[in-house]
Structure 1
Amino acid sequence: MEDGKLKVRAVDRALDILLCFTRKESLSLTEIAGEVELHKSTVHRLMTTLEEKGFVSRDASTEKYRLGIKIWELSAHLSNTDDPALLLLPSMEKLRDELDETVSLYVLDGRERLRIQAVQSNQAIRRVAPVGARLPLYVGASSKALVAFSGEREQEHILSDPIWPDSVSRTAFRDQLRVIRARGYAMSVEEREQGATSVAAPIFDLKGNLAAALSVSGPLARLPVEKLESYAPLLMERAREMGMMIRG
């Protein structure tokens, strides 16, 4: 039994190490040890195994690790019919080309939103949206779209969460949700990042369930409120089309 527990603990630690790379592309042994709060010798043994199996690779010149080829081999076998991040990517690229701004796809994950896909704008000054980022639900267009179109019970659970900041009025937020549901999209202007704006619309699957939020974001200088509002009809239409592709 003890041996079994040790094996599970080793797997758990190895997975924690791999998850570090959702936040940064390359990491040193010291950085990884700090992230997972383990001794460097323990991390080194795990990294050696992961490297032998092809899940990470090490750059000899920098002594830093990055994800290995086995990760990409595994991702190649994900079913496009089941994974919205892969299924909707071509449509997101089309929307990016239509508006030439960064397009992101978010899902609810607990009491956060998770960016599962992003297509960056080709413009020199652009909104960079790293995949895998977790963001709070009380701020941002995509957060408001996800909360507004989730069920009433889910909304109440989110709004009553102890981590909800006192600086964000629940009453004012509920008022925003009613407006968002009425018009079908949400906007944010410098709510989370100074100089950044975004507009987001919900995506419903073929069964009518909320599947994700689709957003377009960029710098305020290029995307003032009037421009966001002009993008909303196209964004909602593309979100509707994408929803027709998700079985639920």
Structure 2
Amino acid sequence: MEDGKLTVRAVERALDILLCFTQAEDLSLTEIAGRVGLHKSTVHRLLASLEGKGFVIRDPASERYRLGFSIWELSANLTHSDDPALILLPEMERLRDQIGETVSLYVRDGMERVRVQAVQSNQAIRRVAPIGARLPLYVGASSKILVAFAESDEQQALLRHPTWPPAAASESYLQQLSEVRTLGYATSVEEREPGAAAVSAPIFDRAQRLVAALAVSGPSNRLTVEKMKEQAPLLMETARRMGKMLK
């Protein structure tokens, strides 16, 4: 039993190391150890195993690590014809061209939201949205959508979760969720990141189940509250059209 626990722990630690690369293209041993909270000697051994299987590559010159080809071999089988992130991509590109800002697609995973697809703005100053990024579920326009339109029991479980900040379960926050359900969209201005703003709408499938949150984001000096209100009808119409494309 003890050996089994150690084996599982090693797997979890190795996966934690791989997840570090959702936020950075390459990392040093020290940076990885700091992110996962382990001694460098332990991380070095795990990286050696991952490197041996092709999951990471070490640059001998810089001593930095990046994802290896085994990751791409696995991901080749990830995208199928029924993958929403692939099916909805053309509509996201169309919306980006109409609005001129970065468009993202988010889904809820536990107490976080994950960006599963993104189309970057073509403007010089733009909101960069890396795919795979995990963000807090209690702040931001897309988070409000994923919480506001969740099933009642799921919503209550989120609000009562030990990690949910008390401020995000206040009366004012609940009022925001009510307004989001009434309006059909949510906005945020510098809630999670200074200088950034976003507007988001829900995507429901044909059975009216919440699938994802569609968001437009950009610099707050360009994506103003008034601008987001103007864009909301187009965003919601795109989200409705996307929902009809899903089973």
**Quick check: TM above 0.5?**
yes
Aligned residue number for residue 30 of structure 1: 30
Matched, 1:133 2:136: no
Aligned residue number for residue 226 of structure 2: 226
Q: Which runs of 5+ in 1 are unaligned?
A: none
Shift, 1:169, TM fit = 6.1
Q: Check whether the contact 1:188–1:198 (CA below 8 A) recurs between aligned residues.
A: yes
Q: What amino acid sits opposite 1:125 in the alignment?
A: I
Aligned residue number for residue 12 of structure 1: 12
Shift, 1:116, TM fit = 2.0
The alignment's TM-score, normalised by the length of structure 1, stands at 0.89
Cα distance change of structure 1 residues 189 and 6 upon mapping to structure 2, 3 Å threshold: closer
Q: What secondary structure sits across from 1:206 in the alignment?
A: coil
Q: Check whether the contact 2:55–2:69 (CA below 8 A) recurs between aligned residues.
A: yes
Cα distance change of structure 1 residues 65 and 189 upon mapping to structure 2, 3 Å threshold: same
Aligned residue number for residue 116 of structure 1: 116
Aligned equivalents of 1:38 and 1:219: distance in 2?
36
Q: What amino acid sits opposite 2:225 in the alignment?
A: V
Aligned residue number for residue 77 of structure 1: 77
Q: What secondary structure sits across from 1:21 in the alignment?
A: helix
Q: What amino acid sits opposite 2:114 in the alignment?
A: L
Q: Which moved more, 1:95-104 or 1:41-50?
A: 41-50
Matched, 1:191 2:177: no
Q: Check whether the contact 2:106–2:115 (CA below 8 A) recurs between aligned residues.
A: yes
Q: What amino acid sits opposite 2:216 in the alignment?
A: V
Q: What secondary structure sits across from 2:187 in the alignment?
A: strand
Q: Check whether the contact 2:33–2:43 (CA below 8 A) recurs between aligned residues.
A: yes
Q: What secondary structure sits across from 2:27 in the alignment?
A: strand
| Aligned pairs for 1:151-170 within 5 A | 151-168=151-168, 170=170
Matched, 1:148 2:148: yes
Aligned equivalents of 1:137 and 1:230: distance in 2?
25
Cα distance change of structure 1 residues 211 and 41 upon mapping to structure 2, 3 Å threshold: same
Q: What amino acid sits opposite 2:115 in the alignment?
A: R
Q: Which runs of 5+ in 2 are unaligned?
A: none
The alignment's TM-score, normalised by the length of structure 2, stands at 0.90
Shift, 1:37, TM fit = 2.9
Q: Check whether the contact 2:101–2:217 (CA below 8 A) recurs between aligned residues.
A: yes
Q: List, as ranges, runs of 4+ consecutive aligned residues in structure 1 with deviation greater than 6 Å.
A: none
Aligned equivalents of 1:14 and 1:164: distance in 2?
27
| Aligned pairs for 1:42-61 within 5 A | 42-61=42-61
Aligned equivalents of 1:214 and 1:11: distance in 2?
34
